[in-house]
Amino acid sequence: MSGQTNIPRRAVLTAMATASAALAAGAARAQTTDQARPTPGQGKVALVTGSSRGIGAATAKRLARDGYAVTVNCEKNRDLAAGVVRDIEAAGGSAVWVQADVSDPSAVLRLFEENERAFGGVDVVVSNAGIMRLAPFSNMADADFSRMVDVNQKGSFYVLREAARRVRDGGRIIALSSSITQLRSPTYGPYAATKAAQDLFANVLAKELEGRMISVNAMAPGVVNTTLFTDGKTPEQIAGFAARTPHKRIGEPSDIADVIAALCSGDGAWINGQTVFANGGIV
Ligand SMILES: NC(=O)c1ccc[n+]([C@@H]2O[C@H](COP(=O)([O-])OP(=O)(O)OC[C@H]3O[C@@H](n4cnc5c(N)ncnc54)[C@H](OP(=O)(O)O)[C@@H]3O)[C@@H](O)[C@H]2O)c1
């Protein structure tokens, strides 16, 4: 005797019919869900600091494409910020730009107030504004160290504090960290320290916002093709970074914007209090 059980043929046919009906219903449901799924940002508002260029500009445009009304921010480059708004509007989105230095807490307050005046509230805050000054410890100027702490660490704190007070339930808060916290290369010490602060900010803030369905994360890019990274580097040095990356290229701002958009979508809700590394595998 084999181990086969003797199941009546009619029962097998019924089970097969039931299974295929269930599969068809599942497929139809999935199709309906995909068709009916609204764009993630429909009716929602995003504020992205430092979005006149680089990763912030790509993020502002990507979130606008996902349906968010977007507040764009710059420190100095008003023309670039206005250009990002023009691009968003030309693509059918809504945006305003606000010049505000994030290292000034009263300017950060004004940034959020102007966002509220334009769009009535905020659902997503991306604390992205940042600067990088590189030097070995023995050569780091006081002014460069102070400005990095003022913009990257204090500035992001002021932005996250306001986000904690204002982001609506179910929202997202993202702070830009960096994979340099793992690479730890010479000359990057003070900059890396200001970025490591973002990992701690996000983890603790996620816990403080318990019960509000707001997910807070740090986003840690690797090397990305923006002036923050390329300024002061030779083409050979940049090629060297590309060679160290398994995909054999450095990141583009859109690579990071895509991951931020995923974190902001409903599918990203369960990622909370984490540092998300998006670096093409360089670390
Ligand atoms: N690029 C990379 O390889 C890389 C890697 C890891 C992490 N990151 C992080 O990603 C973020 C964005 O970097 P990025 O490469 O896109 O830099 P970027 O191209 O140099 O752009 C920096 C943006 O921040 C704004 N900004 C600078 N200081 C500001 C201030 N005090 N107040 C308000 N806005 C200010 C700039 O505005 P203006 O145009 O007015 O100057 C600009 O919009 C930074 O936090 C950076 O640390 C970058």
Q: Are residues 20 and 45 in the same domain?
A: no
Kindly state whether residue 255 falls inside one of the protein's structural domains. yes
User: Would you state the pLDDT for residue 85?
Assistant: 98
Same domain, yes or no: 18 and 117: no
Q: Is residue 150 part of a domain?
A: yes
- Please report the beta strands in the chain, taking only residues with DSSP state E, as ranges in sequence order: 45-48, 69-74, 95-99, 122-127, 167-176, 215-221, 275-278
Number of helices (H) and strands (E) in the chain: give both, helices first: 11, 7
Q: Which of 53, 71, 217 to mutate to test the pocket of ligand 1 (most atoms within 8 A of CB)?
A: 53
> What stretches of 109-195 adopt beta strand conformation (E)?
122-127, 167-176
Helical axes 189-208 vs 156-166, angle rounded to 10°: 10
Domain that holds residue 34: 9-38
Whether residue 2 is contained in a domain is answered as no
Q: Which of 73, 74, 78 gets mutated to test ligand 1 (max ligand atoms within 8 A of its CB)?
A: 74
Residue ranges in the chain whose pLDDT is less than 70? 1-38
Residues 19 and 143 in one domain: no
- Ligand 1 pocket at CB < 6 A: 49-56, 73-77, 80, 101-103, 128-131, 151, 155, 176, 178, 221, 223-224, 226-229
Residue nearest to atom 45 of ligand 1 (CA): 130
Best of 48, 51, 72, 75 to mutate for ligand 1, by most ligand atoms within 8 A of CB? 75
Active-site residue (options: 68, 158, 188, 191): 191
**Co-location of 169 and 242 in the same domain:** yes
Q: Are 135 and 29 members of one domain?
A: no
Q: Which atom of ligand 1 is nearest to the CA of 127?
A: 45
Residue 198 inside a domain? The answer is: yes
Residue 283 lies in a domain: no
Domain contains 4: no
160 in the same domain as 24: no
The CATH number for 103's domain is 3.40.50.720
| Dist CA 108 CA 95 (whole Å) | 18
pLDDT digits (tens, 9 = 90+) for 165-217: 999 999 999 999 999 999 999 999 999 999 999 999 999 999 999 999 999 99
User: How many domains does the chain contain in total?
Assistant: 2
As a whole number of angstroms, the distance between CA 118 and CA 102 comes to 19
pLDDT of residue 18: 47
- Determine, yes or no, domain membership for 220: yes
Same domain for 55 and 32, yes or no, is no
Residues 53 and 113 in one domain: yes
> What pLDDT is attached to residue 4?
40
Q: 15 with 102, same domain?
A: no
Residues 111 and 17 in one domain: no
**Token representation of residue 218:** 């740090």
Whether 230 maps to a domain, the answer reads: yes
Per the annotation, the verdict on 68 as an active-site residue is: no
